[in-house]
Structure formats: structure tokens, C-alpha cells
Amino acid sequence: MARETYIGQKPPETSFRLTKEARNKCVKWLDSLTEQTAYDWFKERRFRDNGGAPFCPRCESTRVYDLASRPKWWKCARKGCHHQFSVTSGTILHSRKLSFVSLVKIIFCFADCAKGRSACEMHLVRNHGYQTMWVNLMKIRESMSSTREDVWLREIIEIDAAYFGGKIRPANRKSQRDQQDRRKAEFQKGKRAIMVVRQRQGKTVMFAADDESPAVARAIARQLVDHTGHGALLITDQATAYNDLEAFAPHMTVDHSKGFMIDGISTNQAESAFSRARRSEIGIYHHWSPTWLDFYAGEMSWRENQRKVSTHDKAQEMLDGMLSHPVSRNLKGYWQHYQLPFNQRERGEQRWSRVHAHIPPRTQRLANE
């Protein structure tokens, strides 16, 4: 059947991934990589605010000296500080076990794929244990997730939700299958929603929520949407969760029972982000655990925003994110069965409590403005 044509539509662009700008220009550099050159890259990016020269991460003093007793360590010379630090101290790579060469190769291997790469595949390719690879990739995802914290969306914004994780298999016998309505809560297995908030021609924020609820919709309108200037136009489907949005900004809905786009109103950009996330879940990872769903959502939103960036720039962005992220409370000592401090265990807090956080904290920033 011939494809429907639209008058005045732009000719399709060439996919960025087919252009020469997308290619990895660091192949030669990676082939001849030594521990020293890999370390130099880490040092340059960690201390990029000071032209690559080390400064104290605690008091930001540039008066530091090399520690004679420990190679590649520095000590702050400022009176009252004297903090000792290395290139990864206090970052998500604190107490790293892998060499710098291994880390650089993992970062490039993980950066150049469009929809992610699983720990199972990476441990075969990069020759590390599965557990090592899982925890290092999760740390990369956690640092990717934190880039959602500084985003304000404006102009035309599409909001939508889709459910991920917790797949229910149909029963073997048809008689049992007929009794099992997999849409009902009693047959559900902890699937959660991923919310997408996407500015047209702009950034995308994806995060996990327990449900597509009015509370989540209100949180989005308060914490992600920039209401200053000409304000924003919010577009959603006709789910009841979005009924309150009218109170925050002009709100339009598209009736999906009639079509994907009615009178130019659509949430197709949000659906497109879901399409990639769904392919990643099914085709790459095969399973997204509801516990870690927010990290996968963070990864997909990072990849969506970096989709027209070369491999080298993506790898650099990834490394900068990791070196700016504090030590992970969710993943530090994961395979060593690290426990929370006793008072937090008493309160019944879980180690991965931050994973369940719905939306990046924005209250402080709102209070300042």
C-alpha cells in the first residue's frame, strides 16, 4: 500500500548514525591505549575546571602537592584541610577495582550503542566477570540519571506514560488462560510506569513512577516545566491522571480513539521515546527489574538527548557525569552485601531508596527563584 503523503512536509533527513560525524574517531587511540594515557584522560576530565591541574575536591584550593608515599595521590596544602585525594576520590568510581584502561574501554563500548548494551554481553566482550560489569554499568546509569536534575522544559511539552517490567506469561492451558485476565491487579507482577516529558525540538526527561497518577502529573508540572516567559503548552492523551494540568499551564489533549494526531495535536514525540525504550527493554536487556527501573529510564533519557552526538563526545559526557557524581549509596559494596547504617535499618529504609524517588528534587531551586 502506498504511503500517505503530506503536502508541505520536509523530505526525510538522513539518520545521524549514518553520517561520518557519528563515527568513533578514537579507534586508533583506543587500540594503542596505555594505563598512563587512560589515566591522563581521567585526570584532565576530573580537574577540567582548573585546566586539568589537580585541586582539592573538599575546599577547592589549588595549593596541593604530590604525596611521596602514594603515587598519583595529592594532599591539600591548605591549613585545616590537608585532604588526601586521588583522581577518583569521592566520585562514583571511588575504590574502583578496574584499571583505567579497562574503564575507558567499557565507557567507549557502552557509549557507541543507541539503545544500551547489557552486562551479560559486555562481560563477554570486555572479559570481566558478570557481577563486575553489572555494577559498573549500573554506576554509569546512576550518573546518567542525575543529569535529569538540571533540566527545565518549555514551549510545547508532550507528557505520556507506559508500563515496563513485570511481564506476565500467559498460562499454558487455554482453559486457564481464559480465566486469567492479565490486565487485573491480582495477576500483575509489580510493573511500573515510565513517564516521559519531552519538549518538542528539545530535551527529554524519563523517570519511573509507581503509577500514571494525578500526583505524578502535578509533580511534573511543578518541577520540570518552566512557567516563566511565554509559559508552556502541555499536550497529553485523555487519561484522567492529567485532568489537573489545566491549573498549571494551557493543556490540550489528543483523543487516541480517533487518531494519533487530531488537528495537529499529538504526543507522537513522547511515543517515539517509548518506542526506543521498548526496543531496548525487549531487544537488548530482555528484562527491566521494577527495582532498578528508574536507572534504566535515566539511561534511556540520556541516550535520547545524546542521540545526535559522536561516540567520543558521548564517552566524554559519560565520564564527566561519573566524575561529578558522588559515591553511590545504592551500589557501593553491592556484591559485598554492604548494609545501611544501623539507624537507617531501624527505620526500615532500603539501600535502594533513591531508586524509588519519583522525580529529581527541585524544591530548593524553586525556593531560590
Give contact residues for Zn ion (rule: CB under 5 A): 56, 58-59, 61, 76, 78, 81, 83
Shorter beta-carbon distance to Zn ion: residue 74 or 292:
74
Shorter beta-carbon distance to Zn ion: residue 54 or 360:
54
Shorter beta-carbon distance to Zn ion: residue 83 or 115:
83
Shortest approach of Zn ion to residue 78 CB, angstroms? 5
Shorter beta-carbon distance to Zn ion: residue 57 or 290:
57
CA-nearest of 234, 197, 252 to 362 is 197
CA-nearest of 61, 67, 72 to 38 is 72
Give the chain's length. 369
Within 10 angstroms of residue 152's Cβ, the number of other Cβ atoms is 17
Radius of gyration of the chain (CA): 23
State how far Cα 13 lies from the chain centre: 27
Shortest approach of Zn ion to residue 62 CB, angstroms? 10
φ and ψ at 195, to 5 degrees? -95, 140
Report the alpha-carbon distance of residue 206 to residue 317 in Å, rounded.
Answer: 18
State how far Cα 98 lies from the chain centre: 23
Name the burial class of residue 289, with classes exposed (0-12), middle (13-18) and buried (19+) by CB atoms within 10 angstroms of its CB: middle
Shorter beta-carbon distance to Zn ion: residue 25 or 82:
82
Report the alpha-carbon distance of residue 100 to residue 283 in Å, rounded.
Answer: 30
Shorter beta-carbon distance to Zn ion: residue 59 or 262:
59
- DSSP helix/strand/coil, 323: helix
Shorter beta-carbon distance to Zn ion: residue 58 or 126:
58
Give the strand pairing for 204-209 and 192-199: antiparallel
Kind and range of the H or E run holding 159: strand 155-164
Report the alpha-carbon distance of residue 83 to residue 56 in Å, rounded.
Answer: 7
In the block, which residue shows the cell 526527561?
A: 205
Name the burial class of residue 219, with classes exposed (0-12), middle (13-18) and buried (19+) by CB atoms within 10 angstroms of its CB: middle
Shorter beta-carbon distance to Zn ion: residue 54 or 321:
54
Shortest approach of Zn ion to residue 59 CB, angstroms? 3
